[in-house]
Amino acid sequence: MSLALEFRGITKRFPGVLANDAIDMKVEAGHIHAVVGENGAGKTTLMSILFGLYPADAGEILVNGERVRFTSALEAIRAGLGMVHQAFRLFPTLSVADNVVFREEPTRRGMIDRAAGVERVGALAERYGLAVDPRSVVETLPVGVLQRVEILKALYRDARILILDEPTAVLTPQERDKLFEVIRRLSDAGRTILFITHKLGEVMAVSDRVTVLRDGRSVADLVTADTNPTEIARHMTGRQVDLDRRAPAHEAGSAVLTVTDLTVTGRHGRETVKNVSMEVRAGEIVGVAGIAGNGQSEFIEAVTGLRDVPEGSIHLHGNDITTSGVLARRLAGMAYIPEDRHGVGTSHLATVSNNLLLGHQRREGFQNKGWFDRKAVRRHARRLIETYGIRSGPINSPVSTLSGGNLQKVVVAREMSHGAPLLIAEQPTRGVDIAAIEFIHDRLITFRDEGGAVLLVSAELSEIHALSTRILVMFDGRIVAELDPAEVDEAALGYYMTGAHEEALLG
Amino acid sequence: MAEQPLNAPAGLGSKIGNVAGHPALFSLIFAFALGWTIVWLTGGDPWFAYREMFDGAVTGSGLRNTLSRAIPIVGMALAVSVAFRSGVINLGGEGQMVVGGLAGTVVAIYMPGPGQLVIPVAMVVGGLAGALWAMLPALGQTRLRLPILITSLLLNYVARAITGYLVRFRLLDDSVTLTSTEQVPATARMPKIPVFGGVSYSLMLVVVLVIVIWVVYGRSVSGYETRMAGLNGRFARYGGIQVERQTVYVMAVAGAIGGVIGTHMILGDAYRYIDGELVLSGLAWTGLLVALLANNHPLLILVAGLLFSGLQIGGLAMQRNADVSWRLAQVLQALVIVAVASRLTFTWFKRRTDRGVTPGEVEPAGVGEV
């Protein structure tokens, strides 16, 4: 078979870091080729070079056997490349068809022909089994459908080589399976798929070949059928990894967090959390599963004090904190790893040390009558950096110089070092690499074993499944099921998350 | 992902390096070069004009005038920067200055007693009045969600009107043709330091203020909390910093500094409150420019304040001796700020494209690293 895409000796050096070190990779036409690697392995750099965002220091790229050197993404698109980004780039208020044809609008007598646009997009969607109504407005669509719109955008521009960057991060298991069907169909139609991920299950499920990157080098090129997840993980991390961990069950103690009949009203007076009651006891991890947008974020904001609670009550260790501010809740014993680590969990212009200090700044020992003991503050930062293995420069370098995984460790370290009895962990491992995931999971389990209470919200079902003592499923603002992780598998969880069981009950 | 941060941080050595590579320095060079060209193009002798400007600012009575004018410029720059650094856009420096200034003046005129008592009381009252005035927009924001940016600016006009009314109808000195209060009695005037031909003791006050603020920024919990709020409000709120309450405090401090500076302008400079005089001087706005140029760093504010003061005083000398309009000094000030602003835009753009950092927070790391 012919090669659709070939990288030869691609090298890219940033000050102090060799991001790509003579990477070779061959992608056969019509194949589904997975690229895996931990964060910082060089995946993003390689794709950026391919799309002309910056030039390689050495090496060459061949598309369909011809040497190319793109200087902009536009040139790459003209050459038949299409990229589906992790974060969607769509106009929310426009229709699917308008989004897809943007800048390539079909015209009639110099005017945009919208009917033709709708027709073409509809035909394209049908051909590849992408169930999308071209007339629907983007902002009304669920995430899984938005991704199909992104794929349509690439196909509409006749992308022969489609690059999907971590496409399943935001999908439910059902949506994920549908995406895989689409990918297979595209591959059958002769298109080449480059599938970037760090989830090994997906590599096994959908790819023909897999290239593993580590520390900027391509360390393995494997035929998927001839390998297994453990081998891939070993190549990714450079060591043996145990992939099948389950936190052993644990005796739960008394209630730490008690939420009673909580209702949250969002904008436009819509109820986003409806009458939720739950509790988290000492020594247990309660996992909240749900598709994004079913009230989990609002629920957590209400519990952490970032949002007003119009109805219901929240108790922490028996103290009513329903109307307390963030500070009072933190003092009462709550620590919080927020979902948005860039916008909320850290301040990227502040230093590593200052980021590690937040929430501790009024602690005895750190300050005396409002004046810092600067030695103690520095000790605190150094201790956390060491204990949590945060790879950073000097403690007074801006936190923005840290990689995603290390940034998350900063948040985790800071929040766990409060010694608060309740830890709320929202998407604690989103977008971080396997080593960091393992580490954070270990920390959560240790915390639980020491009698801490954890409220875990995650879109990652495997995470919920592996860590939780109990699983609560949120759908449409309500808790629709409480499940024992030992008794449900991920498929069943996904079933509850879509609200399907309720429809089944209703007949 | 791994390129050097724009604001390479760390120890004292690199902090000095930071200052040298600071956009401010670049801006100054840019402004003076362009000013040079303007004078040259209009047929003047730019080197002569600049030399006259420099001489006028630092020699003879020029030095005294430069130092005297630096007092309110640095003071007002501190007042706005305290707010700016905390993410509070206080544009009400002018109002806070006139309200505080008039209140302090009233005390100085009508309170009996020796100067050692009257002067401090006048300063405190002026500061309190400025603080209360500044708390109005702060409470408006925290209670009623009225943006301080708008209300603090608009309240300047209200402050002008109220003080104008009071001066015209309640405190007017009929013996002069000015719309003005009576003179502050000699005992209640700020004494002068006997150097450079006499500079008001307020200079010491301002220098002390610079140092105190610098230390508070760098070493205190409030300095940390205000800075975190200024860098990322959501982060601060999430960490339990009471941003709303802090906004009120910060505005009170800013207003107090404004009020004290306003009081100084009468007790240490004009000796009578002439309606509209403080507004006309544009000191509050010069202070704002200085705060921008110095990126809210108190020590740099002192430097930049002296520079702008020197520009203004030297500009007058330049007009006298080199026949180049003193407006050139204003042009230079404006150019510096334009350069600072465009440099910020430039770094914002660069960051966004290089690292995918969310735009919106352009203020580089600076003061107050614990």
Chain B contact set for A396 (CB, 8 A): 9-10, 369
How far B184 CA lies from chain A's nearest CA (Å)? 39
Substitution target in B6, B221, B234, B242 with the highest count of A β-carbons within 10 Å is: B221
Place of tokens 């990477």: A23
Contact A326 B239 (CB under 8 A): yes
Substitution target in B85, B231, B238 with the highest count of A β-carbons within 10 Å is: B238
CA pair distance A448, A283, nearest whole angstrom? 5
Residues B259, B126: contact at Cβ < 8 Å? Answer: yes
Pick from B225, B238, B370: CB nearest A326: B238
> pLDDT (tens digit, 9 = 90+) per residue, B96-155?
999 999 999 999 999 998 989 999 999 999 999 999 999 999 999 999 999 999 999 999
CA pair distance A405, A382, nearest whole angstrom? 18
Mention every residue, 6+ apart, whose C-beta is less than 8 A from residue B329. Answer: B53, B311, B312, B314, B315, B316, B318
Contact B242 A327 (CB under 8 A): yes
CA pair distance A284, B357, nearest whole angstrom? 36
The pLDDT of residue A503 is 58
Place of tokens 């007949």: A507
Chain A contact set for B363 (CB, 8 A): 349
The pLDDT of residue B5 is 35
CA pair distance A428, A444, nearest whole angstrom? 10
Kindly list the residues of chain B whose beta carbon comes within 8 Å of any beta carbon in chain A. Answer: 1-5, 7, 9-10, 219-222, 224-225, 227-228, 231-232, 234-242, 355, 357-358, 361, 363-365, 369-370
Decide if A343 touches B, using CB distance below 8 A.
yes
Q: Phi/psi at A398 (nearest 5 deg)? A: -60, 145
Contact A350 B365 (CB under 8 A): yes
Residues A381, A323: contact at Cβ < 8 Å? Answer: no
**How many CB atoms lie under 10 A from the CB of residue A268?**
5
Decide if A265 touches B, using CB distance below 8 A.
no
Contact A400 B357 (CB under 8 A): yes
Question: Quick one: how many helices (H) and strands (E) in chain A?
Answer: 17, 24
Residues A293, A314: contact at Cβ < 8 Å? Answer: no
H or E stretch including A288? strand A285-289
Contact A348 B232 (CB under 8 A): yes
Q: Which residue of A has its CA nearest to B12?
A: A396
Closest of A341, A335, A336, A339 to residue A404, by C-alpha: A341
Residues A165, A134: contact at Cβ < 8 Å? Answer: no
Chain A contact set for B357 (CB, 8 A): 348, 400
Low-confidence ranges of chain B (pLDDT < 70): 1-23, 343-370
Q: Hey, is A14 helix, strand or coil?
A: strand
Pick from B231, B238, B363: CB nearest A306: B238
Chain B contact set for A351 (CB, 8 A): 9, 365, 369
Substitution target in B232, B237, B348, B367 with the highest count of A β-carbons within 10 Å is: B232
**How many CB atoms lie under 10 A from the CB of residue B358?**
12
CA atoms within 13 A on the CB side of B365: 26
The pLDDT of residue A86 is 73
Place of tokens 């209300």: B151
How far B262 CA lies from chain A's nearest CA (Å)? 29
Residue A341 DSSP symbol: I
CA atoms within 13 A on the CB side of B134: 35
The pLDDT of residue B142 is 92
Contact B219 A348 (CB under 8 A): no
Rounding to the nearest 10 degrees, give the CA dihedral for residues B50, B56, B58, B61. Answer: 180
User: In this structure, what token pair is assigned to residue B190?
Assistant: 């700020």
Decide if A18 touches B, using CB distance below 8 A.
no
How far A21 CA lies from chain B's nearest CA (Å)? 15
Pick from B4, B239, B364: CB nearest A349: B364
H or E stretch including A146? helix A143-156
Q: Which residue of A has its CA nearest to B218?
A: A372
Chain B contact set for A330 (CB, 8 A): 239-240
Residues B84, B90: contact at Cβ < 8 Å? Answer: yes
- Give pTM, 2 decimals: 0.74
**How many CB atoms lie under 10 A from the CB of residue A55?**
11
CA pair distance A242, A445, nearest whole angstrom? 16
How far B290 CA lies from chain A's nearest CA (Å)? 22
Chain A contact set for B235 (CB, 8 A): 343-347, 358
Substitution target in B231, B235, B244, B363 with the highest count of A β-carbons within 10 Å is: B235
Q: Which residue of B has its CA nearest to A394?
A: B10
- Helix, strand and coil in chain B, % to nearest 5: 75, 0, 25
Decide if A48 touches B, using CB distance below 8 A.
no
Substitution target in A348, A392, A415 with the highest count of B β-carbons within 10 Å is: A348
Per-residue b or e along B104-128, where b marks 16 or more CB atoms closer than 10 Å to that residue's CB: bbbbbbeeeeebeebbeebbbbbbb
Chain A contact set for B358 (CB, 8 A): 342-343
The DSSP secondary structure of A93-104, one letter per residue, reads: TSBHHHHHHTTS
> pLDDT (tens digit, 9 = 90+) per residue, B15-42?
444 444 566 777 888 888 888 998 899 8
N-term to C-term CA, chain A: 51
Chain A contact set for B222 (CB, 8 A): 370
CA pair distance A402, A353, nearest whole angstrom? 12
CA pair distance A65, A5, nearest whole angstrom? 7
pLDDT of chain A, 507 residues: tens digit per residue: 689 999 999 999 887 778 899 999 999 999 999 999 877 788 888 988 998 888 899 999 999 999 998 888 889 998 999 988 877 788 988 999 999 998 888 888 888 888 999 999 999 988 888 888 999 998 888 777 888 899 899 889 889 999 998 888 767 777 888 889 989 999 999 999 999 987 788 889 899 999 999 888 999 999 999 998 888 888 888 877 665 555 555 567 889 999 999 999 876 677 889 999 999 999 999 999 988 778 888 999 999 998 888 789 999 988 899 999 999 999 899 999 998 888 899 998 899 999 999 989 988 889 999 999 999 999 999 999 999 888 887 888 888 888 778 889 999 999 999 889 999 999 998 878 788 888 899 999 999 988 899 999 988 888 898 899 999 999 888 999 899 888 888 778 878 887 766 655 554
Number of residues that make up chain B:
370
Decide if A374 touches B, using CB distance below 8 A.
yes
How far B272 CA lies from chain A's nearest CA (Å)? 40
Residues A463, A426: contact at Cβ < 8 Å? Answer: no
Residues B321, B54: contact at Cβ < 8 Å? Answer: no
Q: Hey, is A313 helix, strand or coil?
A: strand
Chain B contact set for A371 (CB, 8 A): 219-221
Which 418-447 residues of chain A touch chain B by CB within 8 A?
Answer: none
Q: E strands along A437-501, which residues? A: 453-457, 470-475, 478-483
CA pair distance A127, A111, nearest whole angstrom? 27
Chain A contact set for B13 (CB, 8 A): none
Closest of B25, B42, B81 to residue B325, by C-alpha: B42
Residues B289, B333: contact at Cβ < 8 Å? Answer: yes
Q: Which residue of A has its CA nearest to B229?
A: A347
H or E stretch including A352? helix A352-357
ipTM: 0.80
Q: Which residue of A has its CA nearest to B360?
A: A343
How far B143 CA lies from chain A's nearest CA (Å)? 15
Q: Which residue of B has its CA nearest to A361?
A: B221
Chain A contact set for B365 (CB, 8 A): 349-351, 398
Chain A contact set for B220 (CB, 8 A): 370-372
User: In this structure, what token pair is assigned to residue B272?
Assistant: 């009578």
Contact B221 A371 (CB under 8 A): yes
Place of tokens 């800048």: A103
Residue B186 DSSP symbol: G
